[in-house]
Amino acid sequence: MHELSIVQALMDLVNQHTPPGVAVEAVTVEAGPMRSIDDGAMQLAWQSTVVDTALAKARLEVRLLPWRLQCPACGLQWDSEELFVACACGNASPRPVGGNDLRLVSLDVSDPPGPQAHSGVG
Ligand SMILES: [Zn+2]
């Protein structure tokens, strides 16, 4: 289950980008198809990794990117849900381009509960 190591790397990344005292509510990542990431497995790995950490309440959103194919004959590039498709020019062997991306897209954070407003009590 390689999702676990991905999630651990992701957690390090999130922690690097999170100022101290800020609660992370949601983490969004984009993963290329070459990663063969399964969303369900990612969620499980995330839950088991963040429990007992500052990220325990953060949601993980995984966006699986389509294949980016390039035709060796005519050079056309396009996005495809399918890896094995023919190009519009008739070439039957378009090649995947990249697809190994794993990007932290966004972090939703809530403002830290600041110092209590002085109420004048006393
Ligand atoms: Zn082509």
Is residue 69 within 8 A of residue 42, CB to CB? The reply is: no
Cα 31 to averaged position of ligand 1 atoms, centre (Å) = 26
Cα 77 to averaged position of ligand 1 atoms, centre (Å) = 8
Cα 67 to averaged position of ligand 1 atoms, centre (Å) = 16
Cα 93 to averaged position of ligand 1 atoms, centre (Å) = 9
Cα 70 to averaged position of ligand 1 atoms, centre (Å) = 8
Spans in the chain with pLDDT lower than 50: none
Cα 90 to averaged position of ligand 1 atoms, centre (Å) = 6
Cα 94 to averaged position of ligand 1 atoms, centre (Å) = 7
Using the Cα atoms of residue 68, residue 71, residue 74 and residue 80 in order, give the sign of their dihedral.
Answer: negative
H/E stretch holding 27 reads strand 23-31
CA dihedral angle for residue 8, residue 11, residue 12, residue 18, rounded to 10 degrees: 180
**pLDDT attached to residue 86:** 96
Cα 92 to averaged position of ligand 1 atoms, centre (Å) = 8
In the sheet with 59-64, reading across from the earlier edge strand, the strands are 59-64, 23-31, 102-110
Cα 102 to averaged position of ligand 1 atoms, centre (Å) = 28
Q: Give the closest residue to 43 by CA, choosing from 16, 14, 3.
A: 3
